Structures are given as structure tokens and as C-alpha cells.
Amino acid sequence: MNQEQLFSFYEKLYFQELERREKLSARLNVPLAILVAVVGFLSFMLNNAPIGISGWPSFFFWAFFVSASCATAVGAWFFKASWFGHTDKLLPTANETEGYRSQLIDLYKDFDEKEQLVEDALKQYLYDYYKQFSSENTVNNDARAYHLYQATYAITVAVLLAFSAFIPYFFVKQEGLKNGNQTAAASASATTEKREGQRPEVTLPTSTPNPEQTTKQVK
């Protein structure tokens, strides 16, 4: 490949990596929505999980719950790594490029082939930027793609573990409701028996002596 072909190749590669960056950024929306939903689902189960119930359902619930939480944390870390920490390189602005061209014109103004020299120097200027920035942007996009893949995989595992935790959660919740109902029924029964065992106290009315009878007895 000659210089012209390399210039065209690096130019296309540079703009291709910019387009690739936009596509990778657009793919972050779905994992973010799923990640937020998983965090909310795990928070709901944690806030409503009955405490103090033992047995295999409770064991499996906490095992799946902790595993899902760890997978969610890993997915969140990879998601952050795919979104942040990458600085893409962009070409200089048009004003900067034009300023450099003006410097070249002043530099080669005394040469006979000054126009050709300015054109070649300016093309070399853009060539170096295309080659360097396309390489750095390729590395950044490869890192984005890798972290996004790992984030998607971890979030998928977190979803499966969260739904797996919901199955024993359902049974643990039902057992907790059952025990609560039994406790409430036993308490109500004990209260009823206590009330039935107590005899109500009857207060007899106090009789007031008749004034006429008292007068007769005195006579």
C-alpha cells in the first residue's frame, strides 16, 4: 500500500471507530434497565423476607439471594467499566487545522514549490492524527465491548439466580404466614378461654329502709 492508500485506510478506520463507539453506547441502555430491575427485585425480597424461619427453603433462599447479589455487583462493576474510564481521541478543530496551515504557508513562502510543500505537510499532519487516534479509539472500543459482554453475562446470571431465589422465598413466605396465623389463632383461643373462666361479679343493690316502717316500730 502506498501513502495515498494508507491515508484513505486510516481515515476510514478513524470514522469507523467513532461509529462503533456510538453503537456500543446505545447497547448500554438494555443492561442498565435490567440491572435496575434486578436491584429492585432483590430489595423487595430482602425487605419482605421473614426472619427466624429455618429449614431447606430458607437455606436455599439465602444461598440464591447472596449469589444473585454478588452477580449483580459484578455486573454493575463491568457496566461501569464499559461506560466510564475511556477517553476517545478526536481530530483538532477546523480552526486549529487552519492555524497550522497558516504556519506552513509562512514556513514555505520562500520556496518555489511552496503550495505543494504545504499540501504534503498538511496531509502528513492529518495522516498522523488518523493513524494515532484510530489506534487509540480501537483499543477503547475493544475494552468497551469486552466489559459490556461481561456485564451482560453477569446480569443474565443475576436474573436467573434472582428468580431461583424467589421460589424458596415463596415457600418461606407462605410458611411465615402460616406460623403467624397459627400464633394469632392460638392467642385468640387463649384469650377466649381466659374470658370464659372468669365469673362476672354481681353487685347486689343496697336496700333503703322505708321511713314509715321505721316510725311504726318506734311507736
Number of domains in the chain: 1
CA dist 33 and 114 (Å) reads 58
Please answer whether residues 100 and 122 qualify as being in contact, where contact means their C-beta atoms are separated by less than 8 angstroms: yes
- Asked if residue 177 is part of any domain, the answer here is yes
pLDDT of residue 206: 52
For the segment 13-44, what is each residue's pLDDT rounded down to a tens digit? 999 999 999 999 999 999 999 999 999 999 99
Identify the residue whose cell numbers are 447479589: 69
For the segment 116-126, what is each residue's pLDDT rounded down to a tens digit? 999 999 999 99
For the segment 193-213, what is each residue's pLDDT rounded down to a tens digit? 555 555 555 454 554 555 555
pLDDT of residue 216: 44
- Asked if residue 81 is part of any domain, the answer here is yes
CATH number of the domain to which 49 belongs: 1.20.140
State which residues form the domain around 20: 3-86+136-186
**Residue 118 contacts by C-beta under 8 Å, 6 or more apart in sequence?**
101, 104, 105, 108
Question: Exposure pattern of 71-102 as b/e (b: 16+ CB <10 Å)?
Answer: bbebbbebbebbbeebeeeeeeeeeeeeeeee
